[in-house]
Structure 1
Amino acid sequence: MWTVKKIRELFEMDVHELGRIANSMNDNKVMFVINRHINYTNVCVSKCPLCAFWKDNGYLMSKEELLQKVDEAVQRGATELHIVGSHNPEVTVEYFEDIFSEIKRKYPNVVIKALTATEIHFLAKKEKCNVREILSRLKDAGLQMLPGGGAEILCNDIRRVICPNKAKAEEWLSVMKIAHEMGLKSNATILFGHIEDYRHRAIHLYKLWKLQEKTKGFVSLIPLVFHPENTQLKRWGLVKEKTNPIDILKTIAVARIVLSNFKSIRAYWVGLGEKLAQVALNYGANDVDGTIMEEKVTHSAGANSPTYMTVDRIIKLIKGAGKIPVQRDSFCNVMRVFN
């Protein structure tokens, strides 16, 4: 049984000792998926101080534009579509129903993983209905999984500063609980390296662990390093630069140790960079996410990693860490092993 205190104490341990423990919890295989990120809009009324992606006068993809990106992704071998955006008041539930049903008509075997819990919460408020109704309609249209975004840090004293105008901690958790009850799997994230401390990270991991014990609905945790460039948090002087590699590796290792009930902990190469992502594979991470193909959110905040990684490059990265590359589906089922 984990407690916040026990998790908090892990952060005080030596990073290499944490890495040794975390690495021993994984086998020698590291997973990846062939996927594409599609950011359908960047117009957002929430205007979170942590975010560099939102715009007042941004874009909203038409159905045709989005489906063209889907076509391109499938032609490149994608088995997963990661579709997320922002809190755009012009977007309706019908927009997603139309797009999801068309995707499923054309590509019934491609997994639609779309809309963060905060987007679902926003959509439910905007449409004046409950979360379960929104999820039910989207599931009927083809939604199979929720990404993990919007969790940030699941402590409202932190959220009041970094994302005051979007779902509170308990609302994010509630959306996930309802999704899991409806048979929808999801991922989770933790955004760290801004104004939070180890105690907040411990609370966050504890809440995820506790919900997973109840629902078994989470698949992966994606630890996201906060990139401060072009954000209000940096302009305010609250965060000057991204956190250091030791802190990153420590957080990934602690996440693996605590969330043994999650199938994977990711080394998200978009935010870490390829070299640190490779190191993280011996500090508890057993997944490098995927090919991505196009990523805008982290890059708008200063990430200088590529926006697309080929399968060959992913395999080389994993083997370089002394691990065995495994192509997975969205739910961490093995599709192919590259010995």
Structure 2
Amino acid sequence: MQKRLTKEEALDLIRNADLKELGRLATQRKKELHPEGITSFVVDRNINYTNICWVDCKFCAFYRHEKDADAYVLTFDEIDAKIDELLEIGGTQILFQGGVHPKLKIEWYEDLVEHIHTKYPQITIHGFSSIEIDFIAKVSRISVEEVLTRLKAKGLASIPGAGAEILSDKVRDIIAPKKIDAEVWVDIHRKAHKLGIKSTATMMYGTVESDEDIIDHLEMVRNLQDETGGFRAFIMWSFQGKNTELLRLLPDMPKPSSNRYLRLLAVARLYLDNVPNIQSSWVTQGPYIGQMALHFGANDLGSTMMEENVVSSAGASFRMAKDEMLHLIRDVGETPAIRNTAYDILETF
């Protein structure tokens, strides 16, 4: 067993390590975990079932209030049409999340999940962030465990890590004061894992956090993974500021560099020794840095992203077709593969 990276060592790597050396260390660790040299991705679609949200995160450009002219809740027919399009390109998963709607209760979500699971049993439902689950529980006057149990019974397979941002309450109090506390985010994932619902962990950096906050975030993920083993992957991306209130409030906030992204990604791969998969965020970083991430610890290119509305609202506009993904992976000497939500390989190329 390798000696675990300490918080102090991780901090030193973020601040002082040579970037090329960091890439070498992260690649070495990646190869220990994934010696077969496969880089995977999933064919899926983000379906944002509503943009109505009362949480008003300052870093978000996607949300609307109920009375806004462009506020929406998708009908089941509209959702079906999106899934039909996904099936036409061989998709296997929907990433299903929305704003935190102030009025939708557990029964609405049960009907929705059951409808999709019954009509499209071949589609995996990877949906509902911890903040959505927390609020469904509150508005329905039931426990988080009951929300998770009832949605799992209807066909929910796993939950995304969205809403983590930085797991530091002093950061969260600035960028999303109405959002759940860091410990609540962790506890909802703990409860999901104990019910047999796997999840992913995420991190959005580049707002007001310190290097120490980033390490604390990684520590919370690593600790919960030690406890439950329920995280399948870790995904991080930089704050996308266009059209957001946060950028209006802090106009001089520096745009995170590609160097910073690769540096943090490599440290995450080294620190999260118990999380099997690290995704590259080409959606926010672009195809070139998305590809470079494969030299800094990432073993997965995420999704072909047939549809994405949240970070694109804040200025990220990168798109990538399956053929381009195959090329980028082969170009770094690895074997491309399509996977499912559970990271099982479905097809190699």
Match of 2:274 in 1: 261
Confirm or deny: 8 A CA contact 2:5 2:270 kept in the other structure.
Answer: no
CA–CA distance in 1 between the matches of 2:76 and 2:254? 38
Q: Report the counterpart of residue 34 of structure 2 in structure 1.
A: none
Checking the alignment, whether the CA contact within 8 Å between 1:7 and 1:202 is kept in structure 2 is: yes
1:176-195 alignment runs, 5 A limit: 176-195=189-208
Residues in 2 aligned to 1:285 and 1:173: alpha-carbon distance in whole angstroms: 23
- Pair 1:118-2:131 in alignment: yes
Relative to the length of structure 1, the TM-score reads 0.96
Between the aligned partners of 2:324 and 2:339, the Cα distance in structure 1 is: 16
1:90 Cα deviation from its structure 2 partner: 2.6
Contact conserved, 1:18 with 1:250, CA < 8 A, in 2? yes
Per-residue CA distance 1:37-93 (angstroms, 9 max, x = gap): 101111110101111111122111112111221121122211111001111113222
Match of 1:153 in 2: 166
Matched, 1:9 2:12: yes
2:333 counterpart of 1:322:
yes
The separation in 1 between residues aligned to 2:74 and 2:121, in whole angstroms, is 22
1:280 to 276, 282, 293: 293
Task: Assess if the C-alpha contact under 8 Å between 1:81 and 1:110 holds in 2.
Answer: yes
CA distance in 2, matches of 1:32, 1:285: 11
The Cα RMSD (Å) is 1.3
Distance in 1 separating the partners of 2:212 and 2:221: 14
Distance 2:145 2:330 in 1: 43
| Partners of 2:11 and 2:131 in 1: CA distance | 27
Q: Distance in 2 between matches of 1:272 and 1:84?
A: 22
Which residue does the alignment assign to 1:88? 101
Between the two proteins, what is the percent identity of the paired residues? 37
Asked if the contact 1:153–1:204 (Cα under 8 Å) also holds between the matched residues in 2, the reply is: yes
Does the aligned pair in 2 maintain the 1:49–1:232 contact within 8 Å? yes
Rounded to whole Å, the distance in 2 between the matches of 1:19 and 1:301 is 29
Q: CA deviation at 1:152?
A: 0.3
For residues 157 and 240 of structure 1, what CA distance do their matches in structure 2 show?
Answer: 17
Aligned residue runs from structure 1 range 70-81, under 5 A: 70-81=83-94
| In 1: Cα distance, 2:135 partner to 2:251 partner | 27
Q: Distance in 2 between matches of 1:202 and 1:144?
A: 29
Are positions 1:127 and 2:131 aligned together?
no
Q: Is the 2:42–2:341 contact (alpha carbons within 8 Å) kept by the matching residues of 1? A: yes
Match of 1:232 among 245, 260, 264: 245
| TM-score between the two structures when normalised by the length of structure 2 | 0.93
Structure 1 residue aligned with 2:46? 37
Alignment-derived partner of residue 24 in structure 2: 20
Aligned residue in 2 for 1:336? 347
Distance (Å, rounded) in 2 between the aligned partners of 1:3 and 1:240: 29
State the Cα deviation string for residues 254-309 of structure 1 (Å, max 9, x = none): 11111121121111211111111011111111111011100010011111212xx3
What SS does structure 1 have at the residue aligned with 2:202? strand
Q: Give the secondary-structure state (helix, strand or coil) at the position aligned to 1:11.
A: helix
What letter corresponds to residue 186 of structure 2 in structure 1? L
Q: Is the 8 A contact 1:101 1:142 kept in 2?
A: yes
**Per-residue CA distance 1:188-231 (angstroms, 9 max, x = gap):** 10001111121110000010001001100000111111111111
How far apart are residue 242 of structure 1 and its match? 2.5
Structure 2 residue runs of 5 or longer lacking an equivalent are 32-36
Q: Quote how far apart the aligned CAs of 1:238 are.
A: 5.6
